[in-house]
Amino acid sequence: MSASNHLLDQLAESAPRHLEELMEWLRIPSVSSDSTRFTEVKQAASWVADKLEGAGLSVEIMPTQGHPMVYAESPKIDGAPVVLVYGHYDVQPVEPLGEWINGPFEPTIRDGNLYARGATDDKGQVLTHVQSVCDWLDSGQPLPLQVKFLIEGEEEVGSLNLERMLPELREKLACDCVVISDSGQYSDGQPAITYGLRGIATYELTVDGPSQDLHSGSFGGAVMNPAIALCKLLGSMIDERGRVQLPGYYDRVRELNPGEREQWAGLPQNDAEFADSIGVEELFGEEGYTTDERRWARPTFDVNGLTSGHQGEGVKTIIPATAKAKLSFRLVPDQDPDEVTAAIEQHLENHCPTGVRWKLEADHGAPGMLAATDSRFVHAANRAIESAFGVLPVLIREGGSIPIVTRFQEVLGCDCLLLGWGLSDDNAHSPNEKFRVEDYYRGIRASAILWDEIGKLN
Ligand code: BES
Ligand code: ZN
C-alpha cells in the first residue's frame, strides 16, 4: 500500500482547513514560562488532544508537576514499525510586543507566510504530523505503521518534568524511531535532515553590593558597583574571538571529524548573505572554524538578559544594589552540563571583584545530541522529503537544543529523525515569528509519505 494519490488529493483538498486549524491553535497564548498563562497553556494541550481524539486516536492528557503532556496512539499493527512523534505546544515569551506587526496571538497571513508566536516553533511543525495522521485515518485506509504522539508543554523551559517521568513512560513510548519536526531546512528550497543538536546549560547570575541603591555622587569612589562587577565578570568569561574562558571548558569537546567538515564545506554557505539577513556588518566567532561549524558543533557562551539599576526614562544617578544576568552556554557532545556549572562557579570564585557577592542559580541543562546519518529511517525520510519538496534533503547539524532528545535515545533506545520544515529567517523566539504556508503543506505531505515509506521497512 502507498500514500495513494487518493490520500495526497485529499490532503490538497483539506489545505484550507489545515491552515484554519493551525490558526486556531496559534490563537491560544501558551507561553510556558509565564505563570499567568497557566490556563491558556492547558487550553493549547486540550486543543491538540481534541483534534487527535476526533480522528479516532486514543488520547490521554497526562498531568505533570507543571504543564500537561498530550499522549495519543493509533492502533498497533502487528509486525509493523512504531514511530513516536515528539513536539511541543508551548511557546516562548513574546516581548518586545511593540515590534510585532500583528499581535503575536492574532495569526495573520502576509506574502504566503503565517505570522504568529509558535507558527514555526513548534505548533506549525508538529501539526504537520498530526494532520497527516488524522487525514490518513479519515481516508478510511489503515496506517501502515503505529504512530504515537507525545506533545508536551514545557520544551521551551527545559522539559524537566518529562525528563523526570521518562523512565516510567518507557513502555508506553516504546518505539523504533522518534520523529521530531522542530528544526529547519538548510536554506530556502533546500530541505535538511538534522543529525545533531547542541546541548544547553542556562543560569541566572546575581551580583549583590550595598544593601540598597546609593547616590552615585555621595558614594561613587567608595564602593564597588555591582553592575560594573557583573560586566567585568561576563567579559572575563569569553575572549575577543569567542573562546570561552572557563577552566576545562573544552576538555571534553568532541572535535568535528574530517568527513563531516568536508561534507559541510559542500553546503552553499554564504557568510555575507547570512550576516545581511540578520542585520550585522560582520560575523563573529572562534578562529579556525566556518560559520556553520561554529553554530552547529562548537560550544559557546551568551548573555540572554541583563538587568540592573534605573530602567525608566531619563537619568537617575545611583549605584545599584544589585545586577543580574541570564546566561546560556551551548554545549556539544561530550560536554556535561553539571561540569559546566562547577567550572562557572570556579571561574566566578577566581574573578569576582572584591566588595560584591555573586550567586549562581542553575536553571536547566541538557547534553548535545548526535543521531545516525544512514539508518533505514534516514533513507525513508530522504524519499519522503524528495517527493514532497522536489529536492533530496542535505544532512546537517543545528545549534539549537531540544533538551529531551538525548534522553529518548538513552531511555527508549530508539533512532531519532529530525525533519525540520522551518526556515532560518522564520524569527523563532523573536518578534514576527512566521511559517511559510507552503512549507506547512509540504511538511504535511512529506509526513504522509514518510508513514508509507516507514511502513514498507519491515
Ligand atoms: N525548536 C527549538 C530547537 C531548535 C532551534 C532546533 C534551532 C534547531 C534549530 C526548540 O524549541 C528550542 O528553542 N529549544 C530551546 C531549549 C531551551 C529553552 C532549553 C533552545 O534551544 O533555546
Ligand atoms: Zn524554541
- Of 345, 366, 387, the one marking the end of a domain is 366
Taking the C-alpha atoms of residue 367 and residue 361, their distance in angstroms, rounded to an integer, is 18
Give me 90's grid cell.
Answer: 508551548
Question: Domain boundary residue among 327, 350, 366?
Answer: 366
Domain stops at, among 366, 398, 424: 366
CA of 392 to the centre of ligand 1 (A): 24
Low-confidence ranges of the chain (pLDDT < 50): 1
Residue 289 lies in a domain: no
Number of independent structural domains in the chain: 2
Q: Which atom of ligand 1 is nearest to the CA of 401?
A: 21
Q: Residue 1 has what pLDDT?
A: 43
> What is the distance in A from the centroid of ligand 2 to the CA of 40?
18
Contact, 14 vs 132, CB < 8 A? no
The torsion of the CA quartet 33, 35, 36, 42, rounded to 10 degrees, works out to 80
pLDDT of residue 58: 98
- In short, whether 200's Cβ falls inside 6 Å of ligand 1 is yes
| Same-domain status, 239 and 105 | no
Residues 220 and 361 in one domain: yes
* Ligand 1: nearest atom to the Cα of 366: 19
CATH number where 317 lies: 3.30.70.360
Asked whether residue 409 falls in the same domain as residue 304, the answer is: no
Residue 280 belongs to a domain: no
Q: Considering the domain boundaries, does residue 284 fall inside one?
A: no
143 CA to centre of ligand 1 in angstroms = 30
DSSP 222: T
C-alpha–C-alpha distance, residues 201 and 217, integer Å: 39
Nearest CA to ligand 1 atom 7: 400
pTM, two decimal places: 0.95
Residue with cell 530556502: 188
**Residue 212 and residue 321 share a domain:** yes
d(CA 23, CA 7): 23
Instruction: Express each pLDDT in 238-272 by its tens digit.
Output: 999 999 999 999 999 999 999 999 999 999 999 99
Pocket lining: 155 vs ligand 1, CB cutoff 6 Å: yes
Distance 6 CA to ligand 1 centre (A): 36
**Which among 77, 59, 188, 13 is positioned nearest to 458, based on CA atoms?**
77
C-alpha of residue 152 to centroid of ligand 2, in Å: 13
CA of 88 to the centre of ligand 1 (A): 11
Tell me the sheet residues that pair with 358: 207
Does residue 400 have its Cβ closer than 6 Å to ligand 1? Answer: yes
Q: Is the minimum distance from the CB of 367 to ligand 1 under 6 angstroms?
A: no
Ligand 1 neighbour 401 (Cβ under 6 A): yes
Provide the phi-psi class of 281: left if phi over 0, else alpha when psi is between -120 and 50, else beta. alpha
Nearest ligand, CA of residue 337?
A: 1
Q: Which three cell numbers stand for residue 154?
A: 514545557
The CATH number given to whatever domain includes residue 145 is: 3.40.630.10
Distance CA 416, CA 189 (A): 23
Contacts of 360 (CB under 8 A, 6+ apart): 203, 204, 205, 206, 341, 344, 345, 348
Kindly report the number of other CB atoms within 10 A of residue 262's CB atom.
Answer: 10
In this structure, the answer to whether residues 37 and 68 fall within a common structural domain is yes
Residue closest via CA to ligand 1's atom 4 equals: 400
- Are residues 187 and 219 both part of a single domain? no
pLDDT per position as a tens digit, 30-62: 999 999 999 999 999 999 999 999 999 999 999
Do both 177 and 219 map to the same domain?
no
First vs last C-alpha separation in the chain: 13
For ligand 1, say whether the CB of 117 is within 6 Å of any of its atoms. Answer: no
- H or E segment to which residue 38 belongs: helix 38-54
The reported pLDDT for the residue numbered 47 is 99
pLDDT attached to residue 252: 98
397 CA distance to ligand 1 middle (Å): 13
Q: Which of 33, 34, 152, 182 to mutate to test the pocket of ligand 1 (most atoms within 8 A of CB)?
A: 182
Q: Structural domain of residue 17, as residue ranges?
A: 5-197+368-455
